[in-house]
Amino acid sequence: MGTDLHAPLGRDRPNGPKRGPLPLGRIVAGLCLIGIAGFSLFSALIKDNLQKTAPIEITKNAPQPQPSVDKPVESDADKSGMPQADPQSGANVQRTVTGDGSVVTTFSPRPRDGNGPVLIGASQVGQDPRMAATPNDSLLEDSPYGRLPITGPGGLRPMDQYARPWSGAHGTRIAIVVSGLGLSQTGTQRAIEKLPEEVTLAFAASGNSLQRWMQEARRGGHEILIQVPFEPFDYPGNNPGPDTLLTSQSAAKNVEDLHKAMGEITNYTGVMNYLGGRFLSNPTALEPVLRDVGKRGLLFLDDGSSAQSKSGTIAKALAVPHAFADLQLDGELQTDAIIKKLDELERVARRNGSAIGIASAFDESVDAISKWSEDAAMRGIEIVAVSALADDPKHP
């Protein structure tokens, strides 16, 4: 071997046969064989482990948010003949727990009655503008006085279904309500054609051709109210008309007269008083009426004509959606005077964030509101429907 510790190792080795480098193909083939063998071993171990720990199936239904019924609610067929189903009816949920503690969740549709296609949630997303004149049948009930509004099985209210959408911005908002529609045929037609669609229209229950005018107003984009006659302080000298709600009548008779007015048209978001200073100031007479209004998913608009009105206090106690008008716009029936009142309404809205103005369907009022509304947006004013400004306990 030698004794030179400084000589490089292997320097004095005897010469043997020289070996060249291994071919690249053999190296790659060897690595592939090693990989295949390792994968086969790993698969065998996994299979053996799964056979030893077979999954145990535990099937149960997770609690689901349910509407007021136990199964999907299907309303009467609409004009297309297609039924509607409540989208909040839930689904079947199956959870499987495996041996290692993992949980697999499977969702499947809950079965429904009937065959053929169905509209899911068609009534839950608001009314298609093209169908705005057509009532939602699931929000109506038959009565001796016509079809009356009701809250739907899933909690949908007429107030929500027929409300006019607005931007949702936190700017200055004004609602303008023009009342007395239906009393004059030419005046009603002129108001519907000329007033901006953002203006809310209130139809007098004693008017004529109300169903026809309701449909035209809804097709024109307007939110609408039904106007009900209430007893004024100077009754009967000042008589609001037939079926006036009176403090001297029983609660049952007043609710009956309310239903007569409600049955005249459909597709309205609420009830508005016509006169009624004495009735609105009498809690005993007013409470059953507001209770029925709220139960039916409607708002109540007080026109603000009576300083002694108890409508706000009672509506709050009963959780009834309520709005109170800030100004009567056409006490002086001249276009310039009405525009000044609209300017005053704007100042109230800028101070408080919102305001509601009331006018009647006179030509002067319609002209003034139309003219003033053209420039309102330029001043940062958003004209909204009255439902957007109602104090709604459901949406505080």
Per-residue confidence band for 77, with pLDDT thresholds at 50, 70 and 90: very low
DSSP assigned state of 130: G
Contact 174, 355 (CB under 8 A): yes
Worst-scoring range by mean pLDDT, 28-32, 146-150, 193-197?
28-32
| Mean pLDDT computed over 73-84 | 44
pLDDT of residue 170: 86
Buried b (16+ CB within 10 A) or exposed e, 189-214: ebbbeebbbbbbbbbbbbbeebeebb
Per-residue confidence band for 130, with pLDDT thresholds at 50, 70 and 90: confident
**What's the mean pLDDT when you consider all of the chain?**
82
- Return all residues near 368 (Cβ < 8 A) that are at least 6 apart: 329, 330, 335, 336, 338, 339, 342
pLDDT of residue 128: 77
Q: Give yes or no for residue 240 having a pLDDT over 90.
A: yes
Q: Give yes or no for residue 82 having a pLDDT over 60.
A: no
Q: Give yes or no for residue 28 having a pLDDT over 80.
A: no
pLDDT of residue 113: 55
pLDDT of residue 129: 77
Domains present along the chain, CATH in parentheses: 56-110 (no CATH), 136-389 (3.20.20.370)
Per-residue confidence band for 396, with pLDDT thresholds at 50, 70 and 90: confident
Per-residue confidence band for 36, with pLDDT thresholds at 50, 70 and 90: low
Question: Nearest-CA neighbor of 153 among 270, 228, 75?
Answer: 75
Contact 175, 197 (CB under 8 A): no
pLDDT of residue 272: 98
pLDDT of residue 32: 59
Side chain identity at residue 230, one-letter code: F
Worst-scoring range by mean pLDDT, 116-120, 133-137, 158-162, 182-186?
116-120
Worst-scoring range by mean pLDDT, 9-23, 213-227, 238-252?
9-23
Q: What is the pLDDT of residues 312-349, one digit of tens each?
A: 999 999 999 999 999 999 999 999 999 999 999 999 99
State percent of the chain over pLDDT 90.
65
Percentages helix, strand, coil for the chain (3-state, rounded to 5) are 35, 20, 45
pLDDT of residue 93: 56
Q: Would you say the C-alpha torsion 348, 395, 159, 259 has a positive or negative sign?
A: negative
| Mean pLDDT computed over 234-261 | 97
More confident residue, 86 or 333: 333
pLDDT of residue 317: 97
Question: Nearest-CA neighbor of 197 among 380, 346, 384, 363?
Answer: 384
State percent of the chain over pLDDT 70.
68
Distance CA 198, CA 240 (A): 28
- Return all residues near 29 (Cβ < 8 A) that are at least 6 apart: none
Q: What is the pLDDT of residues 176-223, one digit of tens each?
A: 999 999 999 999 999 999 999 999 999 999 999 999 999 999 999 999
Tokens matching residue 210: 């109300």
pLDDT of residue 117: 56
Tokens matching residue 114: 């009937």
Worst-scoring range by mean pLDDT, 52-66, 188-202, 255-269?
52-66
Q: Give yes or no for residue 89 having a pLDDT over 80.
A: no
Contact 296, 328 (CB under 8 A): no
Contact 357, 342 (CB under 8 A): yes
Q: What is the pLDDT of residues 266-308, one digit of tens each?
A: 999 999 999 999 999 999 999 999 999 999 999 999 999 999 9
Per-residue confidence band for 69, with pLDDT thresholds at 50, 70 and 90: very low
H-only helix segments in the chain: 24-52, 158-161, 185-194, 210-219, 251-262, 277-280, 283-295, 311-318, 335-352, 363-376
DSSP state string for 234-283? TTTTS---TT-B-TTS-HHHHHHHHHHHHTT--S--EEEEEE-HHHHT-H
